[in-house]
Amino acid sequence: MSNSAKKIFIWVAHPKANTLNSGIADAYAAGAARQGAEIRRMDLSDMAFDLNFEGYDDPYADNTKAAVGSGGKALEPDLLQWQANMRWADHVMIVHPYWWGAMPTKAKAVLDRALTPGFAFKYHQRGVKWDKLLEGKTADAIITSDTPPLLDTLLYRSPGRRVIKNQVLDFCGIKSKNILQWGSVKLASDKKIGRWIGKAEKLGALAA
C-alpha cells in the first residue's frame, strides 16, 4: 500500500433497508472514515437487476467480456457499478444476514451475475486451474444470524463463513482478514447489539 488513503467498498447485502446490517455498515464506515479511508457503499435494497442466472456463455472469456453476465445478457447499471466498486477498492467489507445457511437470494444473485469470467476469474483452457483476477485486495465479512455461531459450527460446520471465505473471496484472489458471524440476533439484548456496533467501528478503523 502507498501512503494514499485506503479505498474501501462496503456492500450491505441485505434486501431490506434500515436493518441491523445497515447499522453495522454505518459503524464500520465511521471507523474507516475516522482513519482517513475513502469509502464507497452500495446497499442491496437499492439495487435493481434481473435475478435470473442461466450460466456463463464462455468460461474462457477475457476482460473485454467482463460486462456480460448470464446467458450473454449485458449487466444492468447497478451491477456494473458494483463491479466498478470492486475493481476500485483496496479492501471490501460485506455484511449480510444468514438465511437457510446462506446469504439472501438477491445477494447471491449479485455474485452470480457480477463475478463474471474475465472480471473476477478466468479458467485455463486446459486442466482445472484458473486465474484469480481480483488479487491484491483484502476483505472483511460480517454475517448476522438467529442461529448462535457456536451451534452453527457444531451442527453445520459454519457453511456461510466457509463459502464466502473460500468459494467467493479466495476463489477470486481476495484475501480474507475477518470472517465473522454474530448472533443470535433474535436473542440479543440492546447491550449486546451495541457491542457488535462498537466492534464493527473498530474493524473499520483497522481496515483503514
**Percent of the chain with pLDDT strictly greater than 70:** 91
Task: Tell me which residue has cell 472514515.
Answer: 33
In this predicted model, what pLDDT tens digit does every residue of 75-119 receive, in sequence order? 999 999 999 999 999 999 999 999 999 999 999 999 999 999 999
CA dist 182 and 99 (Å) reads 13
- Grid cell of 16 as nine digits: 431490506
* pLDDT exceeds cutoff 90 at 46: yes
* pLDDT exceeds cutoff 80 at 67: no
In this predicted model, what pLDDT tens digit does every residue of 168-201 receive, in sequence order? 999 999 999 999 999 999 999 999 999 999 999 9
Q: What is the DSSP letter of 168?
A: I
CA dist 172 and 136 (Å) reads 10
- Grid cell of 163 as nine digits: 463459502
Which residue in 155, 173, 157, 160 sits closest to 115, CA to CA?
A: 173
In this predicted model, what pLDDT tens digit does every residue of 140-156 receive, in sequence order? 999 999 999 999 999 99
- Grid cell of 108 as nine digits: 447471491
Q: Nearest 10 degrees: CA dihedral of 15, 183, 180, 4?
A: 60
pLDDT score at 62: 54
pLDDT score at 55: 86
Least-confidence region, from 37-46, 66-75, 90-99? 66-75
CATH number 3.20.20.120 is the correct assignment for the domain at 7-207: no
